[in-house]
Amino acid sequence: MDNLFEDLISEGRIFANKEVLRSTHVPEKLPHRNEQIKDLADILSAALKGETPSNILIYGKTGTGKTSTVKYVSNELEEMAQKRGINCSLLYLNSEVFDTQYRVFAYLARFFNKRVPMLGWPADMIYSEFKNGIDTKERSVIVTLDEVDKLAIKGEEALYNLSRINSELKNSRVSLIGISNDLTFTDLLDPRVKSSLGEEEIIFPPYNAEQLRDILYERAAKAFNDDAIDDAVIPLCAAFAASEHGDARRALDLLRVSGEIAERSGSKKVCEEHVRLASGKLEVNKVTEVVKTLPLQSKIVLSGLLVLSKESQKKQFSSGEVYNMYRKLCGHLGMDALTQRRVTDFISELDILGLVNAVIVNKGRYGRTKEVSLSVPEESVQSVLLEDYKLKAISSIKVRAQVTL
Protein backbone atom coordinates (compact mmCIF):
# COMPACT_ATOMS: atom_id res chain seq x y z
CA MET A 1 0.00 0.00 0.00
CA ASP A 2 1.40 3.36 -0.98
CA ASN A 3 -0.47 5.53 1.36
CA LEU A 4 -2.33 4.89 4.56
CA PHE A 5 -5.43 6.58 3.19
CA GLU A 6 -5.32 5.09 -0.27
CA ASP A 7 -7.87 2.46 0.53
CA LEU A 8 -9.97 4.68 2.66
CA ILE A 9 -10.70 7.46 0.21
CA SER A 10 -11.12 5.52 -2.97
CA GLU A 11 -14.87 5.86 -3.36
CA GLY A 12 -16.16 2.73 -1.71
CA ARG A 13 -18.03 0.14 -3.63
CA ILE A 14 -20.93 0.53 -1.32
CA PHE A 15 -21.88 4.16 -0.95
CA ALA A 16 -22.74 6.42 -3.82
CA ASN A 17 -23.68 9.37 -1.63
CA LYS A 18 -23.63 8.92 2.08
CA GLU A 19 -24.93 12.40 2.87
CA VAL A 20 -28.40 11.37 1.79
CA LEU A 21 -28.60 9.22 4.89
CA ARG A 22 -27.89 12.04 7.32
CA SER A 23 -30.89 13.27 9.22
CA THR A 24 -30.09 16.86 8.20
CA HIS A 25 -30.58 16.03 4.56
CA VAL A 26 -33.87 17.27 3.18
CA PRO A 27 -35.12 14.73 0.65
CA GLU A 28 -37.08 15.58 -2.47
CA LYS A 29 -39.76 13.14 -1.60
CA LEU A 30 -41.28 12.52 1.78
CA PRO A 31 -43.15 9.23 1.71
CA HIS A 32 -46.23 8.95 3.92
CA ARG A 33 -46.32 12.61 4.72
CA ASN A 34 -48.59 13.78 1.92
CA GLU A 35 -51.40 14.67 4.23
CA GLN A 36 -49.20 16.80 6.46
CA ILE A 37 -47.54 18.44 3.49
CA LYS A 38 -50.88 19.30 2.01
CA ASP A 39 -52.23 20.72 5.26
CA LEU A 40 -49.15 22.81 5.73
CA ALA A 41 -49.15 24.04 2.15
CA ASP A 42 -52.85 24.91 2.35
CA ILE A 43 -52.29 27.10 5.33
CA LEU A 44 -49.13 28.76 4.09
CA SER A 45 -50.50 29.43 0.63
CA ALA A 46 -52.25 32.43 2.13
CA ALA A 47 -48.89 34.17 2.01
CA LEU A 48 -48.92 33.96 -1.79
CA LYS A 49 -52.31 35.64 -1.91
CA GLY A 50 -51.21 38.51 0.20
CA GLU A 51 -52.95 37.28 3.29
CA THR A 52 -51.53 36.32 6.65
CA PRO A 53 -51.23 32.57 7.14
CA SER A 54 -52.50 31.24 10.45
CA ASN A 55 -49.99 30.32 13.07
CA ILE A 56 -49.30 26.63 13.16
CA LEU A 57 -48.24 24.21 15.83
CA ILE A 58 -46.70 20.95 14.72
CA TYR A 59 -46.51 17.98 17.05
CA GLY A 60 -44.73 14.69 16.72
CA LYS A 61 -42.03 12.57 18.27
CA THR A 62 -38.42 12.67 17.15
CA GLY A 63 -37.81 11.29 13.70
CA THR A 64 -41.36 11.67 12.42
CA GLY A 65 -40.35 14.07 9.70
CA LYS A 66 -41.52 17.35 11.22
CA THR A 67 -38.46 19.40 10.44
CA SER A 68 -37.94 17.87 7.01
CA THR A 69 -41.54 18.50 6.05
CA VAL A 70 -41.43 22.11 7.12
CA LYS A 71 -38.16 22.69 5.32
CA TYR A 72 -39.46 21.02 2.22
CA VAL A 73 -42.66 23.05 2.12
CA SER A 74 -40.71 26.20 2.93
CA ASN A 75 -38.43 25.66 -0.03
CA GLU A 76 -41.34 25.10 -2.36
CA LEU A 77 -43.10 28.17 -1.10
CA GLU A 78 -40.03 30.33 -1.41
CA GLU A 79 -39.54 29.17 -4.97
CA MET A 80 -43.11 29.94 -5.92
CA ALA A 81 -42.98 33.34 -4.25
CA GLN A 82 -39.87 34.22 -6.18
CA LYS A 83 -41.42 33.17 -9.44
CA ARG A 84 -44.37 35.39 -8.79
CA GLY A 85 -42.34 38.26 -7.47
CA ILE A 86 -43.92 38.13 -4.05
CA ASN A 87 -41.88 39.26 -1.11
CA CYS A 88 -41.90 36.35 1.25
CA SER A 89 -39.17 35.41 3.71
CA LEU A 90 -38.95 32.11 5.49
CA LEU A 91 -36.83 31.90 8.58
CA TYR A 92 -35.87 28.81 10.44
CA LEU A 93 -34.44 28.84 13.91
CA ASN A 94 -33.84 26.16 16.43
CA SER A 95 -35.03 27.22 19.85
CA GLU A 96 -32.56 25.00 21.55
CA VAL A 97 -29.90 27.43 20.42
CA PHE A 98 -32.02 30.57 20.50
CA ASP A 99 -33.63 29.91 23.81
CA THR A 100 -34.24 33.38 25.18
CA GLN A 101 -36.27 36.31 23.97
CA TYR A 102 -33.10 38.29 23.41
CA ARG A 103 -31.40 35.72 21.26
CA VAL A 104 -34.48 35.15 19.13
CA PHE A 105 -35.03 38.79 18.37
CA ALA A 106 -31.35 39.52 17.90
CA TYR A 107 -31.21 36.78 15.28
CA LEU A 108 -34.36 37.99 13.56
CA ALA A 109 -33.27 41.62 13.59
CA ARG A 110 -29.95 40.69 12.06
CA PHE A 111 -31.69 38.84 9.30
CA PHE A 112 -33.37 42.09 8.34
CA ASN A 113 -30.07 43.93 8.21
CA LYS A 114 -30.18 45.54 11.59
CA ARG A 115 -26.91 45.72 13.44
CA VAL A 116 -27.52 44.58 16.94
CA PRO A 117 -25.05 43.13 19.44
CA MET A 118 -25.56 39.59 20.65
CA LEU A 119 -25.94 40.90 24.17
CA GLY A 120 -26.10 44.10 26.12
CA TRP A 121 -29.22 45.81 24.85
CA PRO A 122 -32.51 45.83 26.72
CA ALA A 123 -34.83 43.20 25.33
CA ASP A 124 -37.54 45.61 24.22
CA MET A 125 -35.04 47.62 22.20
CA ILE A 126 -34.05 44.54 20.25
CA TYR A 127 -37.69 43.83 19.71
CA SER A 128 -38.39 47.24 18.24
CA GLU A 129 -35.29 47.05 16.05
CA PHE A 130 -36.67 43.85 14.64
CA LYS A 131 -40.02 45.49 14.04
CA ASN A 132 -38.38 48.39 12.26
CA GLY A 133 -36.30 46.07 10.15
CA ILE A 134 -39.21 43.99 9.08
CA ASP A 135 -41.69 46.76 8.45
CA THR A 136 -39.64 48.63 5.85
CA LYS A 137 -41.73 47.23 3.05
CA GLU A 138 -44.66 45.05 2.19
CA ARG A 139 -43.73 41.49 2.91
CA SER A 140 -44.74 38.19 4.40
CA VAL A 141 -42.52 36.61 6.98
CA ILE A 142 -42.87 33.06 8.20
CA VAL A 143 -40.80 32.16 11.21
CA THR A 144 -40.29 28.52 12.06
CA LEU A 145 -39.37 27.81 15.65
CA ASP A 146 -38.05 24.31 15.96
CA GLU A 147 -38.29 22.77 19.41
CA VAL A 148 -40.48 25.60 20.66
CA ASP A 149 -40.91 23.79 23.94
CA LYS A 150 -37.40 24.92 24.81
CA LEU A 151 -38.41 28.50 24.22
CA ALA A 152 -41.51 28.11 26.34
CA ILE A 153 -39.37 27.68 29.42
CA LYS A 154 -36.93 30.56 29.16
CA GLY A 155 -38.42 32.73 26.48
CA GLU A 156 -42.16 32.71 26.80
CA GLU A 157 -42.06 36.47 26.44
CA ALA A 158 -40.68 36.02 22.94
CA LEU A 159 -43.60 33.80 21.99
CA TYR A 160 -46.01 36.31 23.38
CA ASN A 161 -44.47 39.20 21.48
CA LEU A 162 -44.18 37.26 18.25
CA SER A 163 -47.75 36.07 18.38
CA ARG A 164 -49.17 39.56 18.67
CA ILE A 165 -46.64 41.43 16.58
CA ASN A 166 -48.98 41.81 13.61
CA SER A 167 -51.05 44.45 15.37
CA GLU A 168 -47.97 46.65 15.53
CA LEU A 169 -46.90 46.31 11.93
CA LYS A 170 -48.13 48.43 9.05
CA ASN A 171 -46.66 46.84 5.97
CA SER A 172 -45.61 43.35 6.79
CA ARG A 173 -47.14 40.24 8.23
CA VAL A 174 -45.61 37.61 10.47
CA SER A 175 -46.73 34.02 10.85
CA LEU A 176 -45.31 31.40 13.13
CA ILE A 177 -44.71 27.72 12.79
CA GLY A 178 -43.89 26.03 16.06
CA ILE A 179 -42.45 22.54 16.09
CA SER A 180 -42.59 20.52 19.26
CA ASN A 181 -42.12 16.92 20.25
CA ASP A 182 -43.81 17.46 23.55
CA LEU A 183 -47.57 17.26 23.21
CA THR A 184 -48.23 18.83 26.57
CA PHE A 185 -45.94 21.81 26.32
CA THR A 186 -48.73 24.30 25.67
CA ASP A 187 -49.94 23.68 29.20
CA LEU A 188 -46.99 25.75 30.37
CA LEU A 189 -48.02 28.68 28.24
CA ASP A 190 -50.06 31.73 28.92
CA PRO A 191 -53.55 30.98 27.55
CA ARG A 192 -53.37 33.97 25.21
CA VAL A 193 -50.15 32.74 23.66
CA LYS A 194 -51.51 29.26 23.54
CA SER A 195 -54.59 30.15 21.54
CA SER A 196 -52.80 32.44 19.14
CA LEU A 197 -49.90 30.08 18.53
CA GLY A 198 -52.11 27.07 17.98
CA GLU A 199 -54.58 28.48 15.47
CA GLU A 200 -53.86 25.43 13.40
CA GLU A 201 -52.37 22.17 14.57
CA ILE A 202 -50.78 19.40 12.59
CA ILE A 203 -49.93 16.07 14.12
CA PHE A 204 -47.14 13.84 12.86
CA PRO A 205 -47.76 10.24 13.91
CA PRO A 206 -44.80 7.84 14.25
CA TYR A 207 -44.01 5.70 11.24
CA ASN A 208 -44.73 2.00 11.27
CA ALA A 209 -42.30 -0.59 9.95
CA GLU A 210 -43.84 -0.56 6.50
CA GLN A 211 -43.59 3.18 6.13
CA LEU A 212 -40.05 3.21 7.42
CA ARG A 213 -39.23 0.67 4.77
CA ASP A 214 -40.52 2.96 2.05
CA ILE A 215 -38.48 5.84 3.40
CA LEU A 216 -35.36 3.73 3.51
CA TYR A 217 -35.86 2.43 -0.02
CA GLU A 218 -36.28 5.95 -1.24
CA ARG A 219 -33.05 7.13 0.32
CA ALA A 220 -31.09 3.96 -0.24
CA ALA A 221 -31.62 4.28 -3.96
CA LYS A 222 -29.56 7.46 -3.89
CA ALA A 223 -27.19 6.60 -1.10
CA PHE A 224 -25.98 3.22 -2.24
CA ASN A 225 -24.56 1.84 -5.42
CA ASP A 226 -26.62 -0.65 -7.34
CA ASP A 227 -26.68 -4.08 -5.80
CA ALA A 228 -24.75 -2.90 -2.79
CA ILE A 229 -27.35 -3.98 -0.30
CA ASP A 230 -28.87 -7.31 0.41
CA ASP A 231 -32.66 -7.61 0.14
CA ALA A 232 -33.06 -8.34 3.81
CA VAL A 233 -31.20 -5.27 4.99
CA ILE A 234 -33.80 -2.56 4.65
CA PRO A 235 -36.71 -4.50 6.14
CA LEU A 236 -34.49 -5.38 9.04
CA CYS A 237 -33.44 -1.78 9.66
CA ALA A 238 -37.07 -0.73 9.47
CA ALA A 239 -38.10 -3.42 11.90
CA PHE A 240 -35.43 -2.44 14.41
CA ALA A 241 -36.39 1.20 14.30
CA ALA A 242 -40.10 0.52 14.38
CA SER A 243 -39.75 -1.58 17.48
CA GLU A 244 -38.52 1.54 19.20
CA HIS A 245 -40.63 4.57 18.40
CA GLY A 246 -40.97 4.59 14.65
CA ASP A 247 -38.08 6.99 14.54
CA ALA A 248 -36.93 7.55 10.97
CA ARG A 249 -33.73 9.21 12.09
CA ARG A 250 -32.78 6.07 13.92
CA ALA A 251 -33.63 3.91 10.95
CA LEU A 252 -31.41 6.03 8.73
CA ASP A 253 -28.57 5.97 11.23
CA LEU A 254 -28.84 2.25 11.38
CA LEU A 255 -28.68 1.91 7.63
CA ARG A 256 -25.75 4.29 7.34
CA VAL A 257 -23.73 2.63 10.09
CA SER A 258 -24.48 -0.78 8.59
CA GLY A 259 -23.07 0.45 5.34
CA GLU A 260 -20.00 1.87 7.04
CA ILE A 261 -19.35 -1.39 8.80
CA ALA A 262 -19.75 -3.33 5.59
CA GLU A 263 -17.40 -0.99 3.78
CA ARG A 264 -14.76 -1.19 6.45
CA SER A 265 -14.88 -4.93 6.57
CA GLY A 266 -14.23 -4.97 2.84
CA SER A 267 -17.52 -6.58 2.02
CA LYS A 268 -19.07 -5.98 -1.39
CA LYS A 269 -22.57 -5.91 -0.04
CA VAL A 270 -24.34 -4.82 3.09
CA CYS A 271 -25.79 -7.89 4.75
CA GLU A 272 -28.03 -8.72 7.64
CA GLU A 273 -25.06 -9.37 9.85
CA HIS A 274 -23.83 -5.81 9.35
CA VAL A 275 -27.17 -4.45 10.48
CA ARG A 276 -27.00 -6.45 13.68
CA LEU A 277 -23.50 -5.19 14.34
CA ALA A 278 -24.63 -1.65 13.65
CA SER A 279 -27.55 -2.01 16.01
CA GLY A 280 -25.21 -3.12 18.76
CA LYS A 281 -22.84 -0.28 18.04
CA LEU A 282 -25.56 2.34 18.20
CA GLU A 283 -26.70 0.82 21.46
CA VAL A 284 -23.23 1.18 22.94
CA ASN A 285 -23.03 4.72 21.64
CA LYS A 286 -26.24 5.54 23.43
CA VAL A 287 -24.83 4.26 26.71
CA THR A 288 -21.58 6.10 26.12
CA GLU A 289 -23.42 9.31 25.44
CA VAL A 290 -25.54 9.04 28.55
CA VAL A 291 -22.61 8.20 30.81
CA LYS A 292 -20.51 11.00 29.38
CA THR A 293 -23.05 13.65 30.24
CA LEU A 294 -23.63 12.44 33.77
CA PRO A 295 -22.81 14.88 36.56
CA LEU A 296 -19.54 14.10 38.30
CA GLN A 297 -21.07 12.83 41.52
CA SER A 298 -23.31 10.51 39.61
CA LYS A 299 -20.31 9.19 37.74
CA ILE A 300 -18.59 8.45 41.02
CA VAL A 301 -21.59 6.53 42.28
CA LEU A 302 -21.60 4.53 39.07
CA SER A 303 -17.86 3.93 39.40
CA GLY A 304 -18.47 2.67 42.90
CA LEU A 305 -20.86 0.09 41.60
CA LEU A 306 -18.44 -0.80 38.83
CA VAL A 307 -15.57 -1.34 41.29
CA LEU A 308 -17.79 -3.48 43.46
CA SER A 309 -18.86 -5.74 40.66
CA LYS A 310 -15.27 -6.10 39.51
CA GLU A 311 -14.04 -6.88 42.99
CA SER A 312 -16.47 -9.61 43.85
CA GLN A 313 -18.41 -12.31 42.08
CA LYS A 314 -21.66 -10.81 43.25
CA LYS A 315 -23.68 -8.84 40.78
CA GLN A 316 -26.10 -7.13 43.14
CA PHE A 317 -25.28 -4.81 45.96
CA SER A 318 -27.23 -3.13 48.69
CA SER A 319 -27.36 0.62 48.56
CA GLY A 320 -25.33 0.62 51.78
CA GLU A 321 -22.47 -1.20 50.10
CA VAL A 322 -22.61 1.12 47.13
CA TYR A 323 -22.61 4.12 49.40
CA ASN A 324 -19.58 2.91 51.34
CA MET A 325 -17.65 2.32 48.15
CA TYR A 326 -18.73 5.72 46.94
CA ARG A 327 -17.30 7.29 50.10
CA LYS A 328 -14.04 5.44 49.62
CA LEU A 329 -13.75 6.71 46.08
CA CYS A 330 -14.50 10.24 47.18
CA GLY A 331 -11.73 9.99 49.75
CA HIS A 332 -9.40 8.79 47.05
CA LEU A 333 -10.32 11.67 44.81
CA GLY A 334 -9.98 14.17 47.60
CA MET A 335 -13.61 15.15 47.41
CA ASP A 336 -16.28 15.58 50.02
CA ALA A 337 -18.80 12.79 49.95
CA LEU A 338 -22.46 13.61 49.76
CA THR A 339 -25.02 12.21 52.15
CA GLN A 340 -26.61 8.85 51.73
CA ARG A 341 -29.91 10.52 51.09
CA ARG A 342 -28.50 12.30 48.08
CA VAL A 343 -26.83 9.17 46.80
CA THR A 344 -30.11 7.25 46.85
CA ASP A 345 -31.46 9.92 44.55
CA PHE A 346 -28.52 9.43 42.22
CA ILE A 347 -29.15 5.72 42.20
CA SER A 348 -32.77 6.32 41.31
CA GLU A 349 -31.74 8.59 38.47
CA LEU A 350 -29.32 6.02 37.15
CA ASP A 351 -32.14 3.53 37.35
CA ILE A 352 -34.40 5.74 35.27
CA LEU A 353 -31.64 6.22 32.71
CA GLY A 354 -31.43 2.45 32.44
CA LEU A 355 -27.77 2.23 33.38
CA VAL A 356 -28.53 0.52 36.61
CA ASN A 357 -31.20 -1.78 37.90
CA ALA A 358 -32.53 -1.02 41.37
CA VAL A 359 -35.15 -3.06 43.19
CA ILE A 360 -36.34 -2.63 46.75
CA VAL A 361 -35.84 -5.85 48.70
CA ASN A 362 -36.95 -6.81 52.17
CA LYS A 363 -34.59 -8.95 54.16
CA GLY A 364 -36.67 -9.10 57.29
CA ARG A 365 -34.38 -9.07 60.27
CA TYR A 366 -31.64 -7.69 58.09
CA GLY A 367 -33.47 -4.65 56.97
CA ARG A 368 -34.72 -3.30 53.72
CA THR A 369 -32.62 -2.01 50.84
CA LYS A 370 -32.42 -1.27 47.23
CA GLU A 371 -30.51 -3.99 45.48
CA VAL A 372 -28.50 -2.31 42.79
CA SER A 373 -26.91 -3.94 39.79
CA LEU A 374 -25.32 -2.71 36.61
CA SER A 375 -27.66 -3.20 33.68
CA VAL A 376 -25.15 -2.47 30.93
CA PRO A 377 -21.88 -4.24 30.12
CA GLU A 378 -19.04 -3.31 32.48
CA GLU A 379 -16.61 -2.46 29.71
CA SER A 380 -18.96 -0.06 28.01
CA VAL A 381 -19.16 2.16 31.09
CA GLN A 382 -15.65 1.74 32.37
CA SER A 383 -13.88 3.25 29.39
CA VAL A 384 -16.15 6.28 29.39
CA LEU A 385 -15.81 6.83 33.11
CA LEU A 386 -12.05 6.77 32.89
CA GLU A 387 -12.16 9.41 30.18
CA ASP A 388 -13.11 11.89 32.87
CA TYR A 389 -9.76 13.15 34.05
CA LYS A 390 -11.09 13.65 37.53
CA LEU A 391 -11.86 9.97 37.73
CA LYS A 392 -8.48 8.77 36.53
CA ALA A 393 -7.34 8.26 40.11
CA ILE A 394 -9.89 5.52 40.47
CA SER A 395 -8.02 3.25 38.12
CA SER A 396 -5.34 2.84 40.76
CA ILE A 397 -7.96 1.51 43.15
CA LYS A 398 -8.94 -1.04 40.60
CA VAL A 399 -5.37 -2.20 40.27
CA ARG A 400 -5.20 -2.70 43.99
CA ALA A 401 -8.46 -4.57 44.00
CA GLN A 402 -7.17 -6.92 41.35
CA VAL A 403 -3.99 -7.56 43.30
CA THR A 404 -5.87 -8.51 46.43
CA LEU A 405 -8.03 -10.93 44.51
Partner DNA sequence: CCTCCACCGGAACGTGAGGAGT
Partner DNA sequence: ACTCCTCACGTTCCGGTGGAGG
Residues in contact with DNA by the rule CB under 7 A = 100-102, 122-123, 154, 157, 295, 297, 318-321, 336, 338-342, 344, 347-348, 360, 362-370
Give the nearest distance from C-beta 366 to DNA in angstroms.
5
Residue type (1 letter), 184: T
Give the nearest distance from C-beta 298 to DNA in angstroms.
8
Give the nearest distance from C-beta 261 to DNA in angstroms.
37
Give the nearest distance from C-beta 323 to DNA in angstroms.
7
Estimate to the nearest angstrom the gap between the alpha carbon of 247 and the chain centroid: 11
Residue type (1 letter), 352: I
Give the nearest distance from C-beta 270 to DNA in angstroms.
42
Nearer to DNA, 216 or 356 (CB): 356
Give the nearest distance from C-beta 292 to DNA in angstroms.
16
Nearer to DNA, 49 or 341 (CB): 341
Nearer to DNA, 218 or 388 (CB): 388
Give the nearest distance from C-beta 213 to DNA in angstroms.
40
* Cβ atoms of residues 38 and 72 within 8 Å: no
Nearer to DNA, 81 or 301 (CB): 301
Nearer to DNA, 38 or 363 (CB): 363
Length of the chain counted residue by residue: 405
Nearer to DNA, 169 or 338 (CB): 338
Nearer to DNA, 85 or 191 (CB): 191
- Among residues 287, 217, 216, 225, which one has the least CA distance to residue 254? 216
By CB neighbour count within 10 A (0-12 exposed, 13-18 middle, 19+ buried), where does 243 fall?
Answer: exposed
Return d(Cα 74, Cα 66) in angstroms, integer: 12
